[in-house]
Structure 1
Amino acid sequence: MAGIYIHIPFCRQKCYYCDFYKTVNTSLKQKFLTLLNEEAKLRKNYLDNEAIETIYFGGGTPSVLSANELENIHKNIAENYRVEPDAEITFEANPDDLTAEYLQQIKAAGVNRLSVGIQAFQNEHLKKMNRRHDAAQAEAAINNAAKIGFDNISVDLIYGLPGLSDQQWEESLQRVYQLPVQHLSAYHLTYHEGTPFFTWLKKGTLKELSENESVNQFNSLVESSEKAGFEQYEISNFARNELYSRHNSSYWMGKKYLGLGPSAHSYNQVSRRWNFSHVESYVRGLEAGSDYFEEEILSDKDHYNEYIITRIRTKWGVSLSDVNQKFGSEIHSHLLQQLEKYKNTGLVRIDNEIVLLSKEGLFVSDEIMSDLMII
């Protein structure tokens, strides 16, 4: 089983915190869509005819697509790949795009899972991030989607925002729990170089939350989500009734995936490939039949590091026996030696040969991952 990720790089306006590749210039949109379908045809052998169990439309803002444009992409994928009848088809969207009519149209086009970028329920923070919607539109979009028949809805929130109080964060969480959603992705704000938030932080016009405040908000997220019936199955992802993101889970399980569109990454368990993060370069390369991507062949150490990075973040953890079997005794010994550092810290535990992070360990996962990897 494998997955396909489709990057739609267009946005109506840019959020001040976001460093994903995107553009507000839609002049190349139609040419891009034509060449996106062409790329899908050119790369049909990349996954060795494995069945496709997930398709994920990300961005950018996929909801800038019309329903007809979405349907055309989906149809092209179905013609060139072996898509499972029960495949998870996820579609990222902004709340203000999700009118009742549009929701009906994308559902008819095959979308069965919505991922809605809400980020906050305080209009002051939405304006600060340069989001297009307000809190009322966010709630209306989720409720309308549920009424129309979407029963697998995920929402995104951000904590650690400058000026976000613990009370406001708890308010956002409680509003999510009261909505008909089955999945929550909650991320700590990162100040990425090149974004307005990063520039303002360096200038001193934005003040970063303290580490204690960030820890409090993470702890509140973990505790309140559990009370509301959500299981934390990855550092930033929570699901009701085991409705995990099948697409993202396939990344963490090391399955193959194909990435289409500018900046999209692909992995076939031998190499990793990534398309140029530029619409013009992507279009020019495909039109000319020249390179529009870079690629690297992965070593055993690369595969091991990838395994650590993806699995340690999840409820499934790192299997010591898997490491020994897949990567050999030398790497297995390295892992055991590095784990000794965490023996009495309370950050890591080992249950039946499975290495897992504690709640405290989850918050410092980057440091732990770095220690366990082979640099």
Structure 2
Amino acid sequence: MRTDRQIIHMDQDAFFVSVEVRKNPELRGKPVIIGSLSDRGVVTSCSYEARKFGIHAAMPARMARMLCPHGVWVRGNMDEYSKASHEITEILKENVPLIEKASIDEHFIDMTGMDKHFGTLKYARELRVRVMKETALPISFGLSVNKTVSKMATNECKPNGELNIEKPVVQPFLNPLSIRKIPGLGEKSFIKLSDMGIRRIYELAQVHPEYMNSILGKNGIGLLQKAKGIDDSPIIPYHEQKSIGTQSTFKNDSIDLTSINHLLTAMVMDLAFELRQQHKQTACITVTIRYSTREDVTKQASIPYTALDAPLITKAKELFRQAYQKRLLIRLVGIRLSNLVNGFEQIDLYAGSEQQYSLCQAMDRIRRRFGPDAIKPASVINLDI
């Protein structure tokens, strides 16, 4: 792994709010809050003006109303946010050699070696201007020697900023920052380190590796490396984003559409659970059927980013109806979820269905405790096809 890498991290500023402002410029400069106003609702995103009142994502709506009674609430539209995300990704893909889509609103770009042909910082600035010009959406970037430092640089210069952290100043840049700003540092680890008196990155960087391993295990060693500005993780090319899928071959060829639809429900629920366990979202679903004649038919659809059961089940059944046109016996059905990005909580809280989100969370807790087969739809318990 080269030590002189050139990694750009590009992150949209208050992405969902920015999309709403693009649609309705009258919202510009106002404390905009995206989410549900119901008593059980939560804040899903908010403008920087709203953040000045202490509002943040996942905050209960009731508390947000108390902190900012004059806030402008917007329900939000996941379909529009997904489309805007694809707009940005396409622009970046056309202009850089290697790109990773880290989440719906952030990308890593590897420009290592390209600095011999042109200045990476100059190119990053030009790329940022191009994205803003073509999408009318604000974006910030950090440039540094690896993914961790470039992401932290972006976080320090937002909103509407840019920051270049060259190799000689990586440690001086990191040292005074709170350990909370290290990507991947969870709340439990933060509390444990804080109780030990470790609150700044400089203090964390001095801890002996064996001691970090004893208190936080393998994760502790990773955090220690990040505190020292070390991160060898590669850029994962966007077109190689992993997909997950499953298929079921029937004991006997079947035309029992009711049972097949029940099976599709169970298959989607299993895949969606796996997505949530990986903290990922999907933006593409594919359904395949194989007739008794061995002919395969595949139908695919792009969807708003989600990891919720309900919208995926609905789309899977719709694609199955489109695929099943010959009225022949079916031998196999398969489902694949692709175009995966990180961020289950980040996005599905914004999807407009607190009930669906809460149900999935409750079911996931039971599955994690008692196993993935602990909960199944009643319709598939005795399914035999």
Which TM-score band applies after superposition, normalised by the shorter structure? under 0.3
Q: TM-score, normalised by structure 1?
A: 0.27
Q: TM-score, normalised by structure 2?
A: 0.27
